[in-house]
Structure 1
Amino acid sequence: MNNSFLIIVFLVGFALGVFFFGGLWYSVKKAVVSTKPLLWTFGSFFIRMSLTVLTFYFAGGEDWRRFLAVLIGFMAGRFTVIHITKTIDARHAEQKTEI
């Protein structure tokens, strides 16, 4: 197994982390103002978990290094989404106080 393949698997994990945690943030925002919050909550959960488990299974394979690369990429995506969403929420809070 070469390092370039591990980098690709890391990037797959990163994209998955951005999808999972970005989708979580988005679905919570939508569920709060929706008339059907249960649908947003469970629908989003099912889609995000299904895709995450399948991606970990296929990208991780039977090699612990690939699985670790996917996991580290997933966590890097998580921290990226946390940073971006804090910035977005801070901007919205500033706009509300200015009005």
Structure 2
Amino acid sequence: MNDGLALIFAFAAGMLLGCVFFGGLWWTIRKCVATPYPARWMLGSALARMSITLAGFYFVSAGQLKPLLACLVGFIAARLIVTRLTRPAIQVLAKTQETHHAT
């Protein structure tokens, strides 16, 4: 496989890993609000998300620095995307909490 294509693949894999990691974090936080055992959810989710992410970085990098860096850039880009996509839900939640405090 040519170097450019390998780096594009590594970037895309990093984006996928980032979406899984940060999307899973967002889902876990929303789940923890409604469960009587939030610590179990947070611990289990953190272990699962970190395991998936580290295994993904290990396999994508194949012991080389360039694919690892491309994967990391994709991971960070996915963080920005997931943060932007989940922001409206956070702002709506904050507005509803403010109205409850005012009453």
Name the TM-score class by shorter chain. Answer: 0.7 to 0.9
Show the counterpart of 2:30.
Answer: 29
TM-score where L is the length of structure 1? 0.87
Q: Shift of residue 91 of structure 1?
A: 4.5
Name structure 2 gaps, 5 residues minimum: none
Residues 48-87 of structure 1: pairs in structure 2 closer than 5 A: 48-87=49-88
Q: Shift of residue 8 of structure 1?
A: 1.1
Distance 1:4 1:88 in 2: 36
Distance 2:64 2:83 in 1: 29
SS state at 1:23 partner: helix
SS state at 1:3 partner: helix
Q: Shift of residue 89 of structure 1?
A: 2.5
Seq. identity, % = 38
TM-score where L is the length of structure 2? 0.84
How large is the Cα RMSD of the aligned pairs? 1.5
Show the counterpart of 1:45.
Answer: 46
Deviation >4 Å, runs of 4+:
91-94
Name structure 1 gaps, 5 residues minimum: none
Q: State which structure, 1 or 2, has the greater radius of gyration over its C-alpha atoms.
A: 2
1:49-98 deviation digits (Å, cap 9, x = unpaired): 1001100111012111100000000000000010001023334556x46x
Distance 1:19 1:91 in 2: 23
